Amino acid sequence: MTVVAWILQGILVLMFLMAGLGKTFGSKMHIEGFKKWGYPQWFRVVTGLIELGAAILLIVGFWNDTSAIIGAAILVAVGIGGVITHIRVKDTMKETATILVLGILALVLLIILL
């Protein structure tokens, strides 16, 4: 595995551990976001657990390439869903940028790993 892949994995692990914990445990920002987007709160928790699971797969992926590939693929799907959500409710580019960039980083990692 290349140094670039390790760096991307590290960034994605940190970002999605924070985001997943915030969603799972109900930070005010995430509760309000899911209300704004018209999603039920149980979906916030499920999304958070998926993000945490993907981050854990990326951590394991430092030793096992298959885990990293699966984790990155899950985060690509999360990124696509997040971007679609922001577009659907006509959020600004500033509101959409974080998940867009993270989704792209996950895609780049996936391509490197394949």
Instruction: Kindly compute the dihedral angle of the four CA atoms of residues 61, 64, 70, 71, in this order, to the nearest 10 degrees.
Output: -10
Q: Report whether pLDDT(105) > 90.
A: yes
Stretch 10-30: mean pLDDT: 96
Residue 46's pLDDT is: 97
Q: What is the pTM of this model?
A: 0.93
Residue 48's pLDDT is: 97
Residues in the chain: 114
Q: What is the pLDDT of residues 74-96, one digit of tens each?
A: 999 999 999 999 999 999 999 99
User: What does the block give as tokens for 17?
Assistant: 């551990």
Task: Provide the domain count of the chain.
Answer: 1
For 106, the domain range is: 3-113
